[in-house]
Amino acid sequence: MQVLELFSQLPPCVVAMEACGCAHFWGREIGKLGHDARLIPPAYVKPFVKRQKDDAADAEAICEVAVRPTMPFVPVKSEETQGAAMVFRVRELQIWPRTQAINALRGHLAEFGQIVPQGAATHQS
């Protein structure tokens, strides 16, 4: 990877980037090379973009934000932490349609006079 080759040739330094989808991967890899990887929430970078949003303007804003002493950075997540978060998000994606279907079925049954209590685990005797 050309990015890692570049950073392997640099002395240890601060490497700041917006916390986006792949930033944790790059933060881990760049950190392994001895650099201080700092991830900045995009909401903190946006106010510092001075002109039309493009790569150069974003890079300038990130540099400006990275040197602020009170800036809260996002810790670089481990692969294990990212994996656990991914499992949670996928589970949430499965729960919403299930809840939606249960509520729709309850509504349709109510049209026929069948009142079913709320909740997926409700049992009638």
Per-residue pLDDT tens digits for 75-111: 999 999 999 999 999 998 988 898 899 999 999 999 9
* Rounded Cα gap, residues 17 and 66, in angstroms: 8
* CA-based nearest residue to 75, from 20, 37, 46, 21: 37
CA angle, 30 as apex, 27 and 35 as ends, to 5°? 105
Backbone torsions φ then ψ of 120, nearest 5 degrees = -75, -30
pLDDT-based confidence at residue 125 (cuts at 50, 70, 90): low
Global pTM reads 0.71
73 vs 30: CA distance, rounded Å: 16
